[in-house]
Chains A and B, each alone.
Chain A
Amino acid sequence: AQSVSQHNHHVILSEAASLELGCNYSYGGTVNLFWYVQYPGQHLQLLLKYFSGDPLVKGIKGFEAEFIKSKFSFNLRKPSVQWSDTAEYFCAVRPGGSQGNLIFGKGTKLSVKP
C-alpha cells in the first residue's frame, strides 16, 4: 500500500538552529508532493509543493524542500528557525499526479525554544 513516512515524531530546537524534517514515500510512479503546516489551533496550510521541474522548491516563511526521486524523499529544510515556527508539519503525497486524494504522513511536531 502507498504510504508516507515522517521519521521524527517530535523535534525540539532552539531559535536560529537549522531544521531538516525527513519525509519518504512509497510509490514508484509520478507523484505530487506537499508539505503542510498546522499552527496551534489553526487549520492546515500549504507550505510548499512539488509538481515537476526543479527538484528544489521554495515555500513560504523561508522553508524549502528537495525532491530526490532516487531516494523517494522530500525533506523539508529551513536554515534558521524562529519561535513562531512551532507547529506540526505534515508531508503529503498525491500518487499518480493529477487525480484523487492526498496521503499524509503522521506529522512531526516542532517545538522551538526562544
Chain B
Amino acid sequence: DTGVSQNPRHKITKRGQNVTFRCDPISEHNRLYWYRQTLGQGPEFLTYFQNEAQLEKSRLLSDRFSAERPKGSFSTLEIQRTEQGDSAMYLCASSLPDLRVRYRVGAEAFFGQGTRLTVV
C-alpha cells in the first residue's frame, strides 16, 4: 500500500497520559498536514509541514500538542496530559508541492485512515 499510513489505528488512554501518533506520507510528498475530526464535524486543521519546516499551526493546537517531522519524511503528533476533550480522529494528509504557478496544475491532499483516540 503506497498511500498515507497512520499508526496506531486506535488508541485508548487514561486522562493525563501522553500519546504519540505517527504518520508516514506518500513518498516524495513534501507537504504533510495534521487534522482533527470529531463526530458530526468536518476535519479541522491542526498544523502543516513543508519538508521538515512547520509552516503553520492552528489555534486548536494548544501547548499540550506538538508535532515534528525531523527528516522531512514521517511525522509524529504528541499530545501531553490528555484530556477527554482530546478524544477524536486524528487525520494525516500529504501532498506534492502546488505546481499551479509553473504548470497550471494543482496538488490535492491524500488522507490516511486516521488514528482514533479515546481518552477515558
Contact = CB atoms under 8 A, between A and B. Distances in A.
Interface of A: 4, 6, 32, 34, 36, 42-46, 49, 51-52, 90, 92, 97-107
Contact of A51 (B35, B45, B58, B100): B100
Contact of A98 (B3, B58, B100): B100
19 contacts: A4-B42, A32-B106, A43-B4, A43-B91, A43-B111, A43-B114, A44-B43, A44-B93, A44-B111, A46-B109, A49-B106, A49-B108, A51-B105, A90-B42, A90-B43, A101-B58, A102-B45, A106-B40, A107-B41
- Give the interface SS of chain A, mostly helix, strand, loop or mixed: loop
B103 to A, nearest CB: 11
B74 interface: no
A104 B44 CA distance: 7
Nearest to A104: B42
B33 interface: yes
A2 to B, nearest CB: 11
A20 to B, nearest CB: 19
Interface in B104-120: 104-106, 108-114
Nearest to B33: A101
A51 B111 CA distance: 19
Given A52-B104, A100-B56, A101-B33, A43 B113 contact: yes
